[in-house]
Structure 1
Amino acid sequence: MQYQHTDATLALMKQAPVIPVMQVADAADALAQAKSLIGGGLTVLEITLRTKAALKSIEMLTRAFPEAIIGAGTVTDADQMEAAIDAGAAFLVSPGMTRRLLKAARKSPIPWLPGVATASEAMTLHEHGFRCMKFFPAEAAGGVKYLSSLAGPLQDLVFCPTGGINPEKAKAYLELSNVACVGGSWMVAPALINAGDYAAVERLAKEACALRAPV
């Protein structure tokens, strides 16, 4: 079985080595973050649905930056899926997967990157047709060593590790054969955003682009 969005999901995972995970406070914040990240070369952006401004920001950024791929993260139920799709999200990311959420995910018209933390969870999703998955929380769930150990028995799977990753750790993950990209928020750290240091955001985005994933 092959999930219908596998090719599209792989394509967006391989577009850049890092998918920034953005938490936005309002429209101005979303625009400033996105402009700096895209200016630095990161064009696949995940807006986490943890704030009231998230859905409106997805809608706005999709219009403002047609060259970018704007997705929704922290999707935990079917209602959020529908709301994110209505807002124009081009892909969805979840921290894990329940039976109800899996049922909704299989009907999603856009790519979905489901979260897994164990081999059993990954195998279960593979049985339902998923090849591309988010490994979360990456560092807490075993890090590079654990994910590397899955490459042998689960050769068909491709991961985007997220959670506790910095530039140094990102480089180590990207050297794994079963990793296409990583997710991270170090380039949009709260200290930088609160200080309005978007020049640093763009610089860190450029550095992240230099962390090339293996072909």
Structure 2
Amino acid sequence: MNILLAEDDLKLGELIGYMLKKKAGYQVDWVKEGEDAYFYSTSSHYDVLILDWMMPNGTGVEVCRRLRKEGYAGAILMLTAKDSVEDRINGLDAGADDYLIKPFEIDELLARIRALTRRNFAPIVEDEVHYRDLVLSRISQMLSDGNKEIQLSPREFQLLDLLLQNRGQVLPRELILERIWGVDADVSTKTIDATVKLLRKKLDSFGKYDLLQSIRGVGYKIEN
């Protein structure tokens, strides 16, 4: 299960992320600002978004309201120290599916997550990504152009999928590293560059070597 945790309290965020990974075996991405929460939730698929009410650069309520306005249909759980009835109503009216008041026990958080995922209302991610004459299969992780197909490694697939989902945008190496390898991974940005090199070799077999563009000193992008 993939979880996005948006929590600006460093100790609490680290604790929640650790417990979700170690106790429940979930994959967790942790961000600390509202804008990052919005970007992550719109650039990848998560089973549940856990949004803290008070964050810099966009509160959890603001992020939730923005996502719902744009048609986001996934599960959203709000974390907050605000416990008045009016605050709960505001959070739910913004589009949150559930509301957990701090402080809370980790077992209760896990139970809320399980309850949300049982509702099975998260959007279905398309099985294929189409870009010009290329088709990327999310099921088989194969890349094809109608005449031939090539198997991608898991990291090559994740990188290409991430760039295609955000085509037209420059993705910094640091962000790519966090999204694909994870914030706790003991790897450097050179690992990204090596994966790009391998992916370009496979793209070259379709005559698309230059599809994946390097932005010097920043990261990578794919044009719209």
TM score, norm. by length of structure 1: 0.36
Choose between structure 1 and 2: higher strand proportion: 2
TM score, norm. by length of structure 2: 0.35
**More contact order relative to length (CA 8 Å, sep ≥ 6):** 1
